[in-house]
């Protein structure tokens, strides 16, 4: 008993020390605690309760919110196949089945010897080099039958992850087209120096003049946000960089953090100067765990160069530093107020607004929260001058935009364009042929068909956070929509009734149609559900959850109708399906073990 406590104290104490033994860092503490056993040990929870002085229920309620936390053993090797539609199009489901067979496990369950578990995860942001997986939280790309088989052998031989071929973990930038951002030749701190010459007030004015709008998708004017934060009452303020890049099909922030991290941090630091913040946070999605050490090294070099810390670049009183917090598998934390809740060590549930983060953000203090790319663009706007910046792009969408191209095209990767580029131009550049549809800005965005390929990316026409998933004429757009619907149901935080229940009902309806039991009634029910979700959901997740179905119904109604029964209504109860368990238990799958449709 005594020794058990010592056992956990040995690895937990340093973690607790590092995080100031503060419950606001609960997420980080749990994450690091989990890295020890692959799950959060019950005795570790008891130890944390005592040390952090929080009720057990707080730890359990937080830990169970995030997909990557486990309170029970989950296998020495925990395999999660990325389950975006682009991974599926590259054969991820078949690869997962093969691996399950090879290692004798069922998807979602741990093997009886506790060696391995295999499951799926929402898009891991490797769509340009999929199919991808997370292996004990580390990204593995370019999965093939051979690679999956090799992984199976390594697992069976209990080879430590450190001894696996480094090539497995290689993540490429795949930058295909450069513009002012990806082509910039700025040295570390250049933009910050330009900002220091301007001074705080002029930074805000400059950003306002530049016309810069948030690159996370919503497009709120960045200058107005910074101004509101600057003017907000209070002396303690924060800057948060949203690197919780969870929208399926988006991976531009990963590339920026890999190859332009200093520009990101320059942007955050000049924002801190503008709004008067002392502390910054980079909220990095858990899927990008592998970027943690490199980013920490970048931060350390900046401290050594006096680009962070006290009296930055000799300016008395300009103190600012940046900490990195990792997410733990929750798409909803990309919503700014949910992200702040998560940063405070809580469940990532979006807050009621107003008040907004600019006045009541992290710790209820004024907070400027922007997307990774927004901070980069802000740094560029300051460096090149607001007027020069606003000359790029369109009237209401100034500057450039990084587009994450994936799906059916020979050259997936990152493309940078001035705003105003048409869908068709991007398709030509990435070499896509016979394109049936493009999903702009991820599942919560817009599905455009060929008749709309002349449309332009920008806040005037097609607003986008950057995802650009291409589907050619071999793809079944119903299955695309169904994948997205499953994604929303999995990622709903569950706070409000319409989203929590509605996304599950929508999933049920799509599955019913897929199984051949759908009717016209089900399609009209989707429209009804959409109205309920649109009008009463707590946040954008619920409000956009029906979009994939509505958009594909609009353009590709026949792919739904060919699956429908002609009846007006058919119950979802599936007699033959109800026998599935009996078939599994008896090992039978012959004709006699099935009920034919006519018999029903």
* Interface residues toward other proteins, by CB under 8 A: 42, 46, 55-58, 60-61, 64-67, 330, 347, 352, 354, 489-498, 500-505, 508, 528, 531-532, 535-538, 571-572
Q: Is the CB of 26 or the CB of 191 nearer to other proteins?
A: 26
Q: Is the CB of 436 or the CB of 538 nearer to other proteins?
A: 538
Q: Nearest approach, Cβ of 350 to other proteins (angstroms)?
A: 11
Q: Nearest approach, Cβ of 288 to other proteins (angstroms)?
A: 21
Half-sphere exposure at residue 452, Cβ-oriented, CA atoms within 13 angstroms: 16
Strand 321-326, strand 279-284: pairing: parallel
Q: Nearest approach, Cβ of 571 to other proteins (angstroms)?
A: 8
At what angle are helices 292-304 and 261-275 packed, to 10 degrees? 60
Q: Is the CB of 76 or the CB of 491 nearer to other proteins?
A: 491
Q: Is the CB of 468 or the CB of 495 nearer to other proteins?
A: 495
Q: Which of 101, 77, 82 is nearest to 92 (CA)?
A: 82
Please work out, in degrees rounded to the nearest 5, the angle formed at the alpha carbon of residue 335 by the alpha carbons of 130 and 375: 80
Please return the burial class of 550, using the count of CB atoms within 10 Å of its CB with bins 0-12, 13-18 and 19+: middle
Q: Nearest approach, Cβ of 123 to other proteins (angstroms)?
A: 17
The single-letter DSSP state of residue 312 is G
Query: Are 478 and 514 within 8 A, CB to CB?
Result: yes
Q: Is the CB of 146 or the CB of 352 nearer to other proteins?
A: 352
Q: Is residue 243 classed as helix, strand or coil in its secondary structure?
A: strand
Q: Which of 534, 572, 536, 566 is nearest to 550 (CA)?
A: 534
End-to-end CA distance of the chain, in Å? 60
Q: Nearest approach, Cβ of 64 to other proteins (angstroms)?
A: 4
Q: Nearest approach, Cβ of 545 to other proteins (angstroms)?
A: 11
Q: Is the CB of 352 or the CB of 451 nearer to other proteins?
A: 352
Q: Nearest approach, Cβ of 109 to other proteins (angstroms)?
A: 16
| Alpha carbon 251 to chain centroid, angstroms | 9
Q: Is the CB of 391 or the CB of 532 nearer to other proteins?
A: 532
Cα–Cα distance between 402 and 49 in angstroms, integer?
A: 44
Q: What is the CA radius of gyration of the chain?
A: 25
Q: Is the CB of 458 or the CB of 498 nearer to other proteins?
A: 498
Query: Are 241 and 166 within 8 A, CB to CB?
Result: no
Q: Nearest approach, Cβ of 531 to other proteins (angstroms)?
A: 8
């Amino acid at each position: 008993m005594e020794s058990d406590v010592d056992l956990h104290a040995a690895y937990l104490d340093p973690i607790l020390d590092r995080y100031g033994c503060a419950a606001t860092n609960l997420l980080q503490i749990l994450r690091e605690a989990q890295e020890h056993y692959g799950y959060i040990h019950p005795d570790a929870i008891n130890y944390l309760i005592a040390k952090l002085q929080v009720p057990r229920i707080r730890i359990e309620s937080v830990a169970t919110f995030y997909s990557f936390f486990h309170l029970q053993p989950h296998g020495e090797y925990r395999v999660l196949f990325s389950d975006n539609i682009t991974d599926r199009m590259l054969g991820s489901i078949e690869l997962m089945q093969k691996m399950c067979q090879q290692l004798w496990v069922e998807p979602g369950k741990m093997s009886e010897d506790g060696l391995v578990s295999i499951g799926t995860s929402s898009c891991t942001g490797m769509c340009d080099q999929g199919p991808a997986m997370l292996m004990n939280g580390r990204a593995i790309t370019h999965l093939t039958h051979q690679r999956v088989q090799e992984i199976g052998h390594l697992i069976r031989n209990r080879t430590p992850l450190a001894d696996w071929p480094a090539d497995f973990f290689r993540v490429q930038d795949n930058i295909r087209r450069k513009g002012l951002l990806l082509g910039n030749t700025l040295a570390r701190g250049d933009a910050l120096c330009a900002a220091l010459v301007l001074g705080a007030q002029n930074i805000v004015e400059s950003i306002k003049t530049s016309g810069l709008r948030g690159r996370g998708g919503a497009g709120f004017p960045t200058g107005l946000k910074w101004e509101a934060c600057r003017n907000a009452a209070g002396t303690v303020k924060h800057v948060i960089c949203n690197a919780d890049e969870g929208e399926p099909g988006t991976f531009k922030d990963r590339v920026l953090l890999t190859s332009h991290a200093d520009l990101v941090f320059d942007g955050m630091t000049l924002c801190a100067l503008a709004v008067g913040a002392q502390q910054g946070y980079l909220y990095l999605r858990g899927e990008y765990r592998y970027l943690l050490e490199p980013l920490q090294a970048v931060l350390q070099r900046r401290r050594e160069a006096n680009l962070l810390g006290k009296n930055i670049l000799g300016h008395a009183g300009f103190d600012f530093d940046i900490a990195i917090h990792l997410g733990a598998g929750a798409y909803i934390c990309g919503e700014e107020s949910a992200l702040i809740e998560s940063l405070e060590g809580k469940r990532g549930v979006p807050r009621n607004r107003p008040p907004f983060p600019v006045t009541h953000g992290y710790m209820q203090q004024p907070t400027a929260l922007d997307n990774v790319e927004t901070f980069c663009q802000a740094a560029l706007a300051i460096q090149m001058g607001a007027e020069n910046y606003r000359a790029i792009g369109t009237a209401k969408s100034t500057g450039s935009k990084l587009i994450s191209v994936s799906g059916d095209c020979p050259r997936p990767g990152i493309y940078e364009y001035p705003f105003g580029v048409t869908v068709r131009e991007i398709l030509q550049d990435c070499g896509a042929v016979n394109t049936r549809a493009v999903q702009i800005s991820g599942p919560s965005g817009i599905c455009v068909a060929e008749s709309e390929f002349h449309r332009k990316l920008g806040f005037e026409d097609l607003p986008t956070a950057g995802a650009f998933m291409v589907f050619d004429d071999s793809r079944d757009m119903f299955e695309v929509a169904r994948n997205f619907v499953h994604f929303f149901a999995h990622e709903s935080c569950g706070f409000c009734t319409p989203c929590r229940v509605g996304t599950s009902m929508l999933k049920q309806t799509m599955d019913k149609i897929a199984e051949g039991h759908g009717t016209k009634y089900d399609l009209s029910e989707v429209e009804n559900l959409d109205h309920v979700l649109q009008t009463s959901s707590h946040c954008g997740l619920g409000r956009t959850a029906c979009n994939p179905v509505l958009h594909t119904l609009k353009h590709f109604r026949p792919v739904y109708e060919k699956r429908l029964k002609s009846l007006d209504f058919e119950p979802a109860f599936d007699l033959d399906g109800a026998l599935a368990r009996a078939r599994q238990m008896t090992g039978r799958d012959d004709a006699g073990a099935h009920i034919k449709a006519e018999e029903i």
